[in-house]
Structure 1
Amino acid sequence: MPEGVPATALPRRALLGAGAALGLPLVGGCGGAGRDAGTAAARAELTVLVGAIAAEQDLIALYEAVRGAHAPLAARIDPALAHHREHLAVLKRHYRPGSGDRADEAAIPAPRAQRAPAGRARALAALRQAEERAAAARAAEAGKVEPGLAQLLASIGACEAGHAAALEGA
């Protein structure tokens, strides 16, 4: 500490670092621009998250439709269906809508009705194609969000790619 400064005084960098860590705008800085950018980023992330939730719901609905139409496939597809249910639960735990004061806030849509294709081979091919599309979508989304959510989406995408590979020989 420089002479004449009490030993209990905090260095300027510590104060600035604490302010930044708390998300406080710097004194004399433009706090509104940062807040607007943060809000836009949060909305974009929420949109991606809602899209991933909707996609998982649709995959689950497709698996359930195939399972219902082709009961002998249940043993083969149930592990992937269980994974998708886990993915959905984890994604929904990350969904934190705002206080309701934003008219454009993303809401989780209802799952779309799915039909199982006729024939076992076509049903498995439809699942494989859906898994491939989902894996590609999660990889693309991972580049649009903050690191924590990006890791989750990448992990889910990798799992979906694994499901597609397992269904490849079907």
Structure 2
Amino acid sequence: METTGGARVTRRLVLRTAGGAIGGTVGGVAAAGLVAGCSSRTAEPRRPKPPDPQTVLLRSLIAGKEQMIELYQRAALSQARLAGALEPFRQRHVAHLAALRALLPKEAAATPSVSGLSPTVSASPSAEGVSLSGLRDAERKASAARPAQTAGASPALAQLLVSVGACEAVHVVALGRVRG
């Protein structure tokens, strides 16, 4: 510490003086805490808790189901003669979506989804029609993803995923029998 010609002021002198001015040893400890807190370092902001992996998985599954329902709606709109045949498939996906949403914690349902996982089915943002083979491919991909998704799932979600995956696998076969 450089001096400019007067008495040398050290941190220890400041702490002693502050302690005496506040009223002795107890005050000195409090003042030392106050003065010691003066620094150029700032406290690190609290990091938010990482999202619950189960909630992240549920949000991804919900997004995938919403996209699957959209695919069925687009297929029904583009192929009106198949709309009646496709409706039961779409309704089963709506039921899956409701079951998945029921497992989402209430506080997670109120917050927007910020998922690092990509949904199982990627729907094109365009309004193009979807063919039966496109639906079968989407169902096949969704069904194939279910076993890996059960690895980190709770028992209740794992049971639901296995059931949903079985339904999707049956959809692959049943869609092959739909005739337009």
Coarse TM-score class (shorter-chain normalised): 0.5 to 0.7
Query: What's 1:64 paired with?
Result: 73
User: After the TM superposition, which of the residue ranges 61-70 and 89-98 deviates more from structure 2?
Assistant: 89-98
CA distance in 2, matches of 1:108, 1:53: 12
State whether structure 2 residue 109 is matched by structure 1 residue 107.
no
Structure 2 match to 1:77: 86
Equivalent of 2:172, from 156, 164, 168? 164
Q: Distance in 1 between matches of 2:170 and 2:85?
A: 14
Gaps of 5+ in 2: 1-48, 116-121
Does residue 150 in structure 1 map to residue 158 in structure 2? Answer: yes
Would you say the 8 A contact 2:68–2:138 is kept in 1? yes
Across the aligned residues of Structure 1 and Structure 2, the Cα RMSD in angstroms comes to 2.8
Q: 1:93 to 1:127 in 2, by over 3 A?
A: same
Q: How does 1:42-61 map to 2 (within 5 A)?
A: 43-61=52-70
Q: TM-score if structure 1 supplies the norm length?
A: 0.63
- Alignment match, 2:30: none
1 CA distance for matches of 2:132 and 2:101? 27
User: What residue is the counterpart of 2:137 in the other structure?
Assistant: 129
1:67-111 deviations in whole A, cap 9, x for unaligned? 0111101122111101001111111111115479xxxx77178x9
Aligned-partner SS, 2:67? helix
Amino acid at match of 1:158: A
Contact 1:139 1:154 in 2 (8 A): yes
**Rg larger in structure:** 2
User: Which amino acid is the alignment partner of residue 157 of structure 2?
Assistant: L
Distance verdict in 2 for CA 1:127–1:99, change over 3 Å: closer
Q: Identity over the aligned pairs, expressed in percent?
A: 33
Give the direction of change, closer, same or farther, for the CA distance of 1:81–1:108 in structure 2 (3 Å limit): farther
How many residue pairs are counted as aligned between the two chains? Answer: 122
Q: Tell me, which stretches of 5 or more residues in structure 1 are unaligned?
A: 1-38
